[in-house]
Amino acid sequence: MQFLDVKTDFAFKKVFGSDESKDILISFLNSVIDFEGHEKIVDLTIVDPYQIPLIKGMKDTYVDVKAKLSNQKNVIIEMQVLNVEGFEKRILYNAAKTYSTQLPKGEDFTTLKPIIALTITDFIMFKDVAEIITYFKLIEKKALIRYKDEIELIFIELPKFNKNEEELDSITDKWLYFIKNAGRLEYTPKTLEKELEIKKAFEIANTAGLSEKELEAQYKRHDFIWLQKGWMAFALKQGIEQGIEQGIEQGIEKGIEKGIEKGIEKGIEKGIEKGIEKGEKKKAIEIAKTLLSLGDDVEKISKVTGLTIKEIVTL
């Protein structure tokens, strides 16, 4: 038995955004969204984001799954495997765009419904945070007063989830395990079979039930992702190697510069010392000559000037 790698956008949309995925999506969202007052989703409508007409002038930034909840909130869900530049801004852009495009021309702003942007990443976004799931809302910086819950961003970082099958003790754990590991499993784990929605998700992800066209689309998408990952890893390696080389070169250059500077400094110091020594010696010789002319004793002159008796005799 072989299952789709749910981390690819094609497979994720197949499992969570298909016509038969309603109960699957409700179970998954209830397990990861932290609703207040133990609120739960009882119903939703899956919206196909590929069928929504684009607004003129806006970028083509489709999400993987879009749903309208029974409490009128809208949820947009995206599975992201590659950590591309500008990704964080795209998430915010998609949320803001989804929020703003609800309002038809002439409608009142009170008709706008809250947006939840749920993003699942196959890479770590927040290195300083241990939590697997993080929640972001608009909040006052000092008093921590919440500004209307109109836009909420939720992130799930799959690399932080490291539980094995025996350690799964909540429905949230089981869903995260499914998303992270389905593509490498050869059977439905017994602990997950007990959850009807997850069992159904495995059935949809089973490659045996896919058409030839769907399999081809999945393989192409999977190959593209791994190719991009390879290029990114290669670029990172090249960047590190070049950085090391440049660092060594700059280190050598700086070392030579510092060496020359130190050499000049030492040379000046030594020159000054030698100059002082020569000046003092010349002065001592002049004093010795004067004392000799006055008939003073050689030993006495040596003690006064610091010159050796031999040097004085030579004079």
Number of domains in the chain: 1
153 within domain boundaries:
yes
201 within domain boundaries:
yes
245 within domain boundaries:
no
Residues of the chain with pLDDT under 70: 37, 48-63, 106, 210, 214-215, 217-241, 243, 245, 247-249, 251-252, 255-256, 259-260, 263-279, 294
The predicted structure's pLDDT at residue 269:
64
For residues 25 and 65, is the Cβ–Cβ distance under 8 A?
Answer: yes
99 within domain boundaries:
yes
284 within domain boundaries:
no
Q: What percent of the chain has pLDDT over 90?
A: 25
Structure tokens at 139: 């909040």
Look at the pTM and tell me if it is higher than 0.85.
no
The predicted structure's pLDDT at residue 167:
94
141 within domain boundaries:
yes
Range of the domain at 94: 9-210
The predicted structure's pLDDT at residue 87:
83
The predicted structure's pLDDT at residue 306:
80
Amino acid at residue number 193: E
83 within domain boundaries:
yes
Helix, strand, coil shares of the chain as percentages rounded to 5?
55, 10, 30
299 within domain boundaries:
no
* Closest to 214 measured CA to CA, from 13, 7, 1: 13
